[in-house]
Amino acid sequence: MSEVTPIRDLLQTLLKTKKLVRMYPENNPMYIKAINDMYEKTVEVFQDIENDITLNIRQYEILYDDKQVYYNPEKTDNLALFFFKDGIRELKFLRGLNKEELEDFLKIISLDEKELIDDDIVTLLWEKDFQHIKYVVDESVLTEDEDYELRATQQVLEETTSPDDLLRAYRDAMDAEGVKPTQIVPLGETDLKALMQEFEKDSEPKLKKLVYIISEMIYQEYNNKKELEEIIPAIRSVLEYSIKMADFESATEILKVVKTAAEDKEISGDIKLLLKKIVEFGGSESVIKNIGEVIDRIEVEEGPVKEYIQQLDRNAITPLIEILGELKNMRARRVVIDSLAILGRRDIQNLVKGLSDERWYVVRNIVYILRLIGDKRSVEYLLKTIRHPDMRVRREVIKTLGEIKAPQAVSTLRDHLNDPDPQIRIATVRALGSIHTEAAKRLLLQRINTKDFLHRGLEEKKEYFEVLSSWKDEEVIEFLLKTLKKNALFNRAKNFENRACAAYALGLIGSKEHLKILKKYSDSGNPVFRDHVRNAIIRLEASHGRT
């Protein structure tokens, strides 16, 4: 593997960590996890490369070993430009870098530009005097214009957005002694319309900023019931808008903050209930419907959608089943199916309600999801669905019962060995083979010995014998040898087919001791029988060598 790949991955992890360090306080589990993940990734990269990590910084790109590992032509959220504008032209991470140094470095680069008005990055790095992080600065950048700092400071102040001012004022008010906290006014319809108009101008950066503010408000107020109740409408509005904008990362971020807050052991039950309601709203019928419309209309990355749905509660299962029957895009249906497989593990009882849906394709998809989950608790519901009027559903149920290996299904599967559709019959044989119980074997042997079986098609017969060969016990081998030798006065062509199938099964069992008897029939006058015998001999000789 090229050394460029782990460096590129490291920078992506760095960008993610930078965002989380900026968003969460040091005692927050999300912050702690972000630092640990970044350190583990750094250690992993040092194991993958031979030398220290030396990054060459340019205005819009970062190079490693003269190869591009980061590029961003934008002026906002640009890691390369972040270092370049302060004159840093090279960053070097030395082996032996410890977690404390890495955390201090991350804190510095995670500072907001407005927090860097008094100090630049170079000054902060110099003050820390890192032992395992080195940098090279182009001094001319810092001295070429005496008014540069004044103008840059003024520019940052002018570009300060109102959401940051609002959040800073809110924090200052909460921290001031003797000051009564200001009541937080929830966003009303008029406020949201104004925000939407602003978003249309430059939606993504402002939405990210708003999600950041909402996350901070949740963290600040999650243990205050009154305040939390008042900001819930705003949380719901931003969550729903994020979905409509197909920004599943932002929506997921909100739910993660809420769920992290709900895990605090010190908060009361009524506050946990409020936080739970936010998560439930994320999986409500209206929000799930919006998800369906988005993923059906545009091509979105599957990962973020699944990650969002994974954060939801079991109440999302029913609306997800509903949109599953409405989606026209196959890719979108796959996303929902995979998501239901995640949520369904938490609530099988809710998921199996989809088996009663009037739309056959929804029922078939629910059966498929149950197979993905593999929970034996679903067997009783599948057995009720096995008589579904649509053949495609029945076949899916039979296949699922086999893969779940449900021994209690053998008696029910017996009837489907006589289904009018050959695909159903073959699916049933395979399911019995997967279940692989003594009862399943006995059923197959009995069916092969019926007069009806003799007149089945050759391919269907081969399925029986192939499945039967998986037992490889004395009873099965004795039955196959008996069938191989059996002559008949009537229906000779059909009997030769049975004998051919027996030869085929003996070849699959792979016992060298059967070569002698197979060679006895290698010159048979019946071409079907002769070909299967010869193929079985070739298989056995390939496994054991010629004798």
Q: What is the pLDDT of residues 151-185, one digit of tens each?
A: 544 554 454 444 455 445 445 544 544 444 444 44
Query: 61 by DSSP, 3-state: which?
Result: strand
In a 3-state reduction of DSSP, which class is residue 90? strand
Residue 192: exposure state from Cβ atoms within 10 A (0-12, 13-18, ≥19): middle
Kindly report, residue by residue over 244-261, the tens digit of the pLDDT: 989 999 899 889 888 888
Mean pLDDT over the full length of the chain: 85
What are the distances in angstroms from CA 366 to CA 254, 291, 333, 378? 29, 19, 12, 11
With cut-offs at 50, 70 and 90, classify the pLDDT of residue 19: confident
SS3 assignment, position 53 = strand
Evaluate if pTM is beyond 0.85: no
Q: Quote the CA–CA distance of 399 and 316 in Å, as a whole number.
A: 27
Give the pLDDT confidence score for residue 259 in this predicted structure: 86
Assess whether pLDDT exceeds 80 at residue 24: no
Give the residue-averaged pLDDT of 96-116.
82
**Residue 22 pLDDT > 90, yes or no?**
no
Residue pair 227/221 in contact (Cβ under 8 Å)? The answer is yes
CB of 351 closer than 8 Å to CB of 340: yes
Structure tokens at 309: 């749905």
Asked whether residue 51 carries a pLDDT value surpassing 60, the answer given is: yes
Task: Give CA torsion, residues 255, 258, 260, 262, to 10 deg.
Answer: -130
Rounded (5°) CA angle 218-222-225: 125
pLDDT per residue as tens digits for the range 109-162: 888 655 554 567 888 888 888 899 999 988 665 544 445 445 544 554 454 444
> Radius of gyration over alpha carbons of the chain, in Å?
34
Of residues 309, 254, 304, 316, the one with CA closest to residue 280: 316
Break the chain into its structural domains and give their ranges.
4-160, 455-547
Mean pLDDT over residues 432-451, rounded? 95
Distance in angstroms (rounded) separating the CA atoms of residues 198 and 241: 13
Q: What is the mean pLDDT of residues 312-317?
A: 94
> Which of 41-50, 70-79, 411-420: highest mean pLDDT?
411-420
The helix or strand, by DSSP H or E, that contains position 423, with its residue range, turns out to be helix 422-435
Measured over the CA atoms of residue 278, residue 282, residue 284 and residue 290, the dihedral's sign is: positive
Average pLDDT over residues 284-305: 93
- 3-class SS at 264? coil
